[in-house]
Structure 1
Amino acid sequence: MVWRDVDPRLPTMEWDYFISHASEDKRLVASPLAHYLRSVGFRVWYDQFTLKLGDSLMAGINTGLANSAFGVVVLSPPFFAKHWPQRELAGLMAVAQGERRILPVWHGVDADDVVRASPMLADLVGVSTRRGLNAVAEEVIRASFPDRLDSLPVSNTRRESPADLREALATLTDMLDDGASRDDVFLLVSAYHDLLRTVARGGDVIPASRISGTVPFDFAAVSTHGLTGPMGLEFIVLGPTEAAEDPAALLNRLDAGFGTTVDFHERPYNDYLSGRLVGEFPEVRKVAHELAGLIESGNVHHAHPDRWRFSITLLNGRRAADPSALARRDELASTSRIPLHIASYDRLTDLDVSSIRT
């Protein structure tokens, strides 16, 4: 990812960012991205920049830039379907080259799509939503306020207001009921980490985009149990939202991704957590050591990630009415080499917002 340089001499504005987007991208991209940026300390203005058929793209961009330091423009199939006049797109290109204040976000498009839709926009390097909106936000911040990168939290867990979280939970419930895909759910929860608290076992939720390594997971949560109790590491894996894939096939891929095992017998004090020891899985060990460097705790086992207990929660499909399906799921989990829990996506909608301290 390479962005154009930005001008550090920009005057202080009322807002750090405005987000310009097609109306179709409001629920899944613009609103969650605005929320994430706000939750980590930025001032964001976006409601006024929902673009509808017949709106002037450049009028909105110019208004936003008059009040904000940077403009984030969500480029997507609905955005290009608005059939902006070529002069409007040319104006956007001119603004981006001249003031270096337009930051494109690609949603559902790639470089070839942008070239086909508008060659004039092809010179603007964009960041894709595929890695999650937290990763988009970090790249946007890197391009605009690089001096604030070091102060970004690893996660926005417990930074969400109850009102925002209730709204996000309602959106998630509607999405699942409407048959949303796994990728759509991933986008939403990548901006609202507290939506995963029902499977995070009390720990802060950390996106996989913050971690290197080959272990196949989407989010991780590290929990502590007092000062001397064991530490737990939960990997959260998002499977299909509809039961379109056999859980056994998913399990085989997960099993391969977590690598081989080795002998390891250093148990932590007060070892009462279920799961396997991190030190038994070399690939998991790499992730755990990296996580230990990202978070802080006073637990005596923090500096010894090999002694942490770890397990995996796989979200797959919706809550089944068929008892035999549940029995099959539990059988797979009980016979797995890797410490696995399988739950439906409905588990996320069980979140009790009032129980979360922000």
Structure 2
Amino acid sequence: MTDDTRRLFEPVAFGDLPLPNRIVMAPMTRNRAGPDNVPGPLTATYYAQRASAGLIVTEATQVSPQGQSYPATPGLHGQDQVEGWRAVVDAVHAAGGRIVAQLCHGGRISHPTFQPGGARPVAPSAIAPAGHIYGPDWSKRAYEVPVALDRVGIEAIVRDFATAAANARAAGFDGIEIHAGNGYLVDQFLRDGSNRRDDAYGGPPERRARFLAEVVEAIADRVGGARLGVRFSPWNGYNDMADSAPERLFPIAAKSVAPFGLAYVHVVEPVGTAPSIGRRIADAAATKLIVNGGYDGETAAVAVGSGDADAVAFAKPFIANPDLPARIAAGRPFAEADKATIYGGGARGYTDYPGDDGA
């Protein structure tokens, strides 16, 4: 094991979140929630199998029925969902792990078939994304033009985030991550390709960051900033996203949440990205940095060993390698995930990948 690889296995404190190693399981939508979007026993098994990660970040979890984007994704807005997640958290803790809930609102990445009463989705501005979405029955549907949120609607969603965060803590989660990337609602407010507002939530980057800052403040008031992280994806065009100056926007957005004492920022920035702004974002937020984007054991070790990151998050490698930290420590190759079983389904391709013990 190289010195850099040893650094991956050194403990680190992210605010009030002590991590025994610097290998993070990134959030991944798997579409296995049960009726009423409640996570079930299979989800508990799935996350517990991966408890050797220094930190697990759950799949994106909607803060309200309005926030749903895809079929069979879990929520944290109803009591049955809280109880379902409590069983997941208990299983992870019993296996020695730590887990935070990633809270998300899909905004315009939704469809009336997901919305209460068949309403149109909401967004900062009435701009439909290009492409299509899968409805509850997995059929393709064209995106519809969303309704531009008014102040009352914005305030209601901020409250939904705070309530979901309180629910997460009631379920026993070790912390919260706000999904502010990948083209969902917080990201839609941040980027000028989706935010054309001319009020206090639009225009220059400082105003576009206001919604994020209000969400962070509301959650910090309920659960504390030292157990709270934020995920950004500055260069990601997923979900038809764009910004004219991401290298300026995202450090400004990070600075807007620095007063709340975040545990970390989690930046999706593919390994080797030039220019890299991950550390600038973390420094602006005055906190630790998790990076994510195509890393393997060697490149992750270099990133942490060089000080370019404080931890590295792995997504797809954790699907087929529940024992990923042990594989990295031993220098063993990663197994490949079955692409056909990533989204939806049951145990196959979810909980049946072998770990160290072959089970």
TM > 0.5 fold call: no
Largest Rg, 1 or 2: 1
Relative to the length of structure 1, the TM-score reads 0.28
